[in-house]
Structure 1
Amino acid sequence: MKTGMDAPFKDAENAALFQVLINTAVDGIIVIDAVGNVRLYNKACERLFGYVPEEVLGRNIKMLMPSPYREQHDGYIDAYRTTGERKIIGIGREVLGQNKDGSTFPMYLSVGEGRLENERIFVGIIHDITERHNAASRLQEVQSELAHVSRLNEMGQMTSALAHELNQPLTAIMNYLRAAQRTVTALDDPAVVRAREMMDKAAGQTTRAGEIIRRLRDFVEKRDARHAHEDVNKTIEEAISLALVGASDANIGVTLNFDRSIPPVLMDRIQIQQVVLNLVRNAVEALQEVSVRELTIKTGLEENGYVYASFSDTGPGLPDEVASRLFQPFVTTKEKGMGIGLSICQSIVNGHGGLLSATPNESGGTTFCFRLPAMDA
């Protein structure tokens, strides 16, 4: 039996060996003529492209290419025949192939040139690199997740340290307020009585601030949340009063549309108020950029047993590049913002078995909505 590479293909044994090599090759093998028509198409190509040989043989190779390569291929062949300048021949490179169903896949294509019976032919070896690309994509996702976890860990350490530092001045403020209250307790002057009432409110808000910091630190440090059955409307009303502090000069119209019949929700009231505080504050800041400044806050009960609270503003809306990554850490539209508020809000709502979402309004602006399972759900 002749085995040399120069043995003629018309030899029966060489022809049989050739067929075995072609049909058992793991990679796709395609032979085209000088004008691009397919002369050979092996079984591996059937698996890669989805076409049977009868659908491909005699047709232009460009049928296996997506645009714009399909439209450019004949020009490449013509240019090579005219100039002899090699762009891919003898040089492998990554390209895209197109399946029969129209989908594409990445492949490594090596092209060699030869002659068969004085006719120029081109032999392409096709190696599917889809799995390599998928592995690279998975690696990138894992690296991104590790970076995400690292940022969250740093954020947790920072929050814990910040809470510790803030507790000291808050305690001092409370002590001064109590001393001032004791000082003016015996005085009956109307102005003093009014001042005493303001001190009481300041003391209440100082206590509340300390509670918020403590609960946030507990949340970041993964301590058990303090869940109880709470009135959602009352919880939101308390948070709104704090969120709108300092916004009186912004000329913002706030409309409350509460469903007073909704059932209680099992939740950590302070954490949910943190969510409300963040959403309202974000809306107030967004409304600074427009002339019509309206914020509508609505609550209700959905058919699936979830209580919802929506916050709809008439602001400029969210840029597309931000909207798709809105709840990821360190994504923000604010010049001086850190971009961790909404990420924390989503974690809080998810931790309650709920969902936080953002949708654009038809008339402009954005609606943020969180949903929490009602008590009887």
Structure 2
Amino acid sequence: MSINTIGLNAITTLMIIISIIFGIQLSIRQLKNERRTKSVLQAMANGDPSLGLRSNSLLRYEIEQIKMNIQIGRIRAQDDNQFLQELLRHIDSCILVVDGANQVIHKNQALDKLLGPMPADITSPQWRELGQYITSANTSHRDIVVWNKNARNDTLSLHLTYTRLQEKLVKIISIQSIHHALEAKENKAYENLTKVLTHEIANSIMPLSSLAQTAKELLPSQDKFDCEDDLKDLTEALTTITKRSESLGKFIQSFSQITKLPKPQPERLDLTALVKHVLLLLSKSDKSKEIDINFVFDNQSYWVFVDSCQLEQVLVNLIANAKQSLSNVAQKKIQITIKRQSQGGLIVDIEDSGTGIESHVAEHIFIPFFTTKQQGCGIGLSLSRQIMLAHRGDLIYVDKPLDQKQLPGACFRIIFNLT
């Protein structure tokens, strides 16, 4: 065997030995890395902050940096979520988020205040027209829905949009009550109409009354008039014109109350005490003992911020109307009930045992000038409702089912929003 062959074999053998040694070292290193990785994962699973590594380990430092960044990101996400929650809590508009299964996944306090407690399932009958609208909506758009709460109709403006949340399509609905805004415009229109009518009618009546009185004074004496009966008829006619003109003038003055309602001067008072005070006043002015008035309330005080004079006028008007409705019935009863609403407000129901109000009439009873009474002028209910609206409350007619009525006649409800 030549020297070259021996040298080549030696080199080959050496390379093999080196490869084996390198492979063994690589396997040992890989095994150590696997053990270290396993140890780190076990330490992380057990909550060991050292991660099973030496304090000066570079790997431990890098992992701790990653852990710190994750914690910072989580804290920021929690802060952002808390900020958004607080922001939604302070927004007046109602916010509702619904998933593809028609389940509520988020709502703010404003929605609970407006609608009251509602189930998570939008298809529940409690959601009524609003639920039907949300479930049937396929595109982003705006609409208006009528909502009934506690026998009180509300008008809701809705804005529905679609977006993705955690890779799922959800509906975001913003809801706002525009009932008071619409009522304010309607009342303003009635107010302007009343101003024009009272001005024009007053300008026509006053000269007519003055001319009739002057003509009456210019009539010749009886001895200078050819026919005594003609003189008598003419005098009576002029007297009738004068009296009727004066009555119309007073009628116009009463209508001006609607357009000149003073701004409420609210004060804190006990509603129970005020109702008792009004009933005492009416009992002294009305000596009739035929009507049985029952006042139902819990043995507690109901505090409200109202103008006592204006609210007293509302109570007087409603109780007087209730008494008038009892003129043709044998059982003469009135019940006044104070109770709290689930949303935190107060209501006063005034019911009577009269014949009630037809539905086609009930639609118009709060319109100025509208009346079904022969001697009425259509002011009382309209003025009373304007007073309650000025107090951020309302006055409504409640058409209760017979099984829910305390008395079979009409029911008017005074609403106080305490929030």
Q: Same fold (TM over 0.5)?
A: no
Report TM bin, short chain: 0.3 to 0.5
User: TM-score by structure 2 length?
Assistant: 0.38
User: TM-score by structure 1 length?
Assistant: 0.42
Q: Name which one, 1 or 2, has greater alpha-carbon Rg.
A: 2
